[in-house]
Structure 1
Amino acid sequence: MGETTGPRLRADARRNRERLLAEARAAFLAHGTEASLEEIAACAGVGIGTLYRHFPTRQALLEALLRERFDALAATGRDLLGGRRPPEAALRVWVLALVEMSTTYRGLTAVLVDTLRDDASDLHASCVAMRDAGAALLTAAQRAGAVRSDLAALDVLTLVSAVAWAHERTPDGARERLDRLLDIVFTGLAAPPVTRSS
């Protein structure tokens, strides 16, 4: 009998983790990133102590839910960098993917901005990989002369975060408004035309 206790407990722990992630996903979708952890635990049928054993912080819980999305966004950046699209178009595709990912849960845009500044955060490494992918696309667009050379990746991420914040608060997340805001951003990012002396 003692031989089956360990594996059964491990299976129970896996099921608890899966239930917690499923309930957290639903709670964050319904209530944003500040959803009650106590309610998440209760809906998963476990105590708050069990939640904290699996996810010591809210950031750790978010990281577990978002790691795959961040990794996918970093991979998308690498694919776009080696693809056939013009560099500015590749950057725009990636920026749109970033906005869509950033608005998965209400409040996530602010979490991402704070996380990039906090290297002790559970989400920091994933955010840095994602940021680096965007930075490489920005550099390619700058080298092609399509984007202003005086911009840093943080400048672009700040602008994109503002667009994501606005999009998050748009009723039904109207795509037309998002496209218009991105058009405005990319007009501002564009390199000035080269003037030729007569």
Structure 2
Amino acid sequence: MRLFVAVPVPEAARDAFSDLQSGLRVGRQVASDQFHITLAFFPEVPPQALAELDAGFEEIRAWPFDVAFTGVDIFGGARPRLLAAMVRPSPELDTVHRAVHGAARLAGLQPERQKFKPHVTLARFGARPPASLAGEVQRYLSENARAEIPGFTAQTITLTRSVLGGGAPVYDDLARYPFRPLPDGWDVP
């Protein structure tokens, strides 16, 4: 099964992202209930690894932390594949990211290896974008690149199944892991 671990986006931020999407006239917009910040993606998880993965995520300790955004940008350069709200890097987010990857490795899984660029995907452009894409994306970015996006306090991570079909993926949260403080004197490696 396809799984990912993410920081969910609360309703106030989802509303702001939906407002940002309204100015984009190309691409397939992500549904507001699917906004999240991916920490790890697993393209294929055998069912027998799920219990160990769950146990590892249960052990992650972190304080709730603030998430801030720096504006919108594209991924893919000259051939854009998605539009995203970019998350301002923070030590707390990096710590949770490393803890998720560590728990996955202990469960015998290897998350997809990509440079961690925290973001919330707003729209996907697909493999065959229309000829008008470049001009439309440039227009959109010039109007919205520095958009004010309200931040939020991250308080949990989710383990989510992603099911592919004919349209957008269907997400099903399998588990939630609320942040809990570290014991005194301890730190996540």
Q: TM-score range by the shorter chain?
A: under 0.3
Between Structure 1 and Structure 2, which shows a larger proportion of helix residues? 1
Between Structure 1 and Structure 2, which shows a larger proportion of strand residues? 2
Provide TM-score, normalisation by structure 2. Answer: 0.23
Provide TM-score, normalisation by structure 1. Answer: 0.22
- Which structure has the higher relative contact order (CA within 8 Å, separation 6+)? 2
Q: Which has the larger radius of gyration?
A: 1
